């Protein structure tokens, strides 16, 4: 899954990546991926080959695209939660990147800064930030955090020592009018902040186009998720999760195409009665 890749080392060094630690991280990925996704699954959809390719060069091609986007004056915004509206970022010609928090490899970089009983998600995300091993983190111009848990509230305080951070106050209750009004005002303030750092302005037409684009992406993702309800399912749970993970940082237009192609294949397999497991298999 790694053959024939360009030499990305000059780009990583330019970003300030810790090459030794980064090499250690990338060295284990091929074998783990092979064992988890390839060797243990039969009848994988052909459409998953695109996602295999993406993971096979996870810190290469997409990072080079982000680098080119920055050279064109676009802002790269790092987020950690779906409560941060990708539509607003996209409407300002920015790029929204969901950042890492899924492996304990990075914990070494943060152990002296946080208590040992902090949740693994926070440890991982902070470690990728302070450990200089995540090119996506390095590419961001600003991080947008949210107040969904106490651990994250503390995390943004710590991360702000390393990178500009804007915290979107998310209400703890969604059923009260004052909570809704507060959240709407928070989104308006977020727009002001992003307009400031992007030197661009948002308008209704831009926002509508952005909402339409992101809605199309999510529609294709939902098509894939819906096939998981079928018996037999034409895609495994871990492959469906992989599709979701790639969607957090890949180009929305490309995702609409590639996830849409995968959804077409899965729906066709269902019509023919094909699945990745036998009918009636327990989930």
pLDDT at 113 over 90: no
Q: What is the pLDDT of residues 117-145, one digit of tens each?
A: 889 999 999 999 999 999 999 999 999 99
Average pLDDT, the chain: 95
pLDDT at position 268: 98
pLDDT at 100 over 80: no
Cβ(106)–Cβ(131) below 8 Å: yes
What residues contact 146, with CB distance under 8 A and at least 6 apart?
A: 80, 81, 83, 84, 152, 167, 168, 169, 170
pLDDT at 2 over 80: no
Greater model confidence, 70 or 42: 70
Q: How confident is the model at residue 73 (pLDDT cuts 50, 70, 90)?
A: very high
Question: Domain residue spans in the chain?
Answer: 73-201
Q: How confident is the model at residue 3 (pLDDT cuts 50, 70, 90)?
A: low
Element (H, E) at 111: none
Give the span between the Cα atoms of 225 and 219, in whole angstroms.
Answer: 10
Mean pLDDT along residues 69-87: 96
Q: Kindly report the pTM of this predicted structure.
A: 0.94
Q: What is the pLDDT of residues 21-57, one digit of tens each?
A: 999 999 999 999 999 999 999 899 999 999 999 999 9
- Other Cβ atoms less than 10 A from the Cβ of 142: the count is 19
Q: What is the pLDDT of residues 201-247, one digit of tens each?
A: 999 999 999 999 999 999 999 999 999 999 999 999 999 999 999 99
pLDDT at 97 over 70: yes
Cβ(36)–Cβ(238) below 8 Å: yes
pLDDT at position 167: 98
Q: What is the DSSP letter of 34?
A: I
Q: How confident is the model at residue 16 (pLDDT cuts 50, 70, 90)?
A: very high
Q: Which CATH class is domain 73-201?
A: alpha beta
Cβ(134)–Cβ(21) below 8 Å: no
Greater model confidence, 283 or 247: 247
Query: Under DSSP, is residue 94 helix (H, G, I), strand (E, B) or coil?
Result: coil
């Amino acid at each position: 899954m790694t053959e024939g890749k360009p030499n990305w080392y000059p780009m990583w060094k330019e970003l300030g990546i810790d090459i030794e630690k980064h090499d250690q991280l990338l060295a284990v990925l091929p074998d783990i991926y092979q064992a988890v996704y390839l060797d243990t699954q039969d009848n994988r959809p052909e459409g998953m080959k695109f996602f295999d390719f993406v993971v096979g060069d996870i810190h290469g091609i997409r990072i080079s695209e982000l680098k080119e986007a920055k050279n064109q004056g676009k802002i790269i915004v790092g987020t950690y939660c779906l409560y941060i509206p990708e539509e607003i970022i996209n409407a300002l010609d920015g790029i929204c990147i969901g950042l890492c928090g899924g492996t304990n490899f990075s914990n070494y970089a943060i152990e002296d800064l946080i208590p040992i009983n902090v949740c693994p998600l926070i440890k991982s995300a902070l470690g990728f930030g302070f450990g200089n091993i995540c090119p996506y983190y390095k590419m961001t111009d600003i991080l947008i955090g949210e107040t969904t848990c106490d651990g994250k509230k503390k995390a943004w305080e710590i991360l702000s020592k390393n990178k500009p951070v804007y915290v979107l106050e998310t209400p703890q209750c969604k059923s009260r009018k004052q909570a809704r009004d507060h959240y709407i005002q928070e989104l308006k303030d977020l727009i002001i902040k992003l307009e400031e750092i992007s030197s661009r302005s948002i308008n209704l037409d831009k926002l509508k186009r952005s909402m339409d684009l992101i809605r199309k992406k999510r529609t294709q993702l939902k098509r894939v998720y819906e096939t998981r309800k079928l018996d037999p399912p034409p895609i495994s749970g871990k492959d469906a999760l992989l599709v979701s993970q790639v969607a957090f940082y890949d180009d929305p237009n490309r995702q609409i195409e590639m996830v849409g192609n995968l959804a077409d294949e899965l729906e066709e397999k269902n019509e023919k009665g094909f699945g990745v497991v036998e009918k009636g298999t327990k989930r």
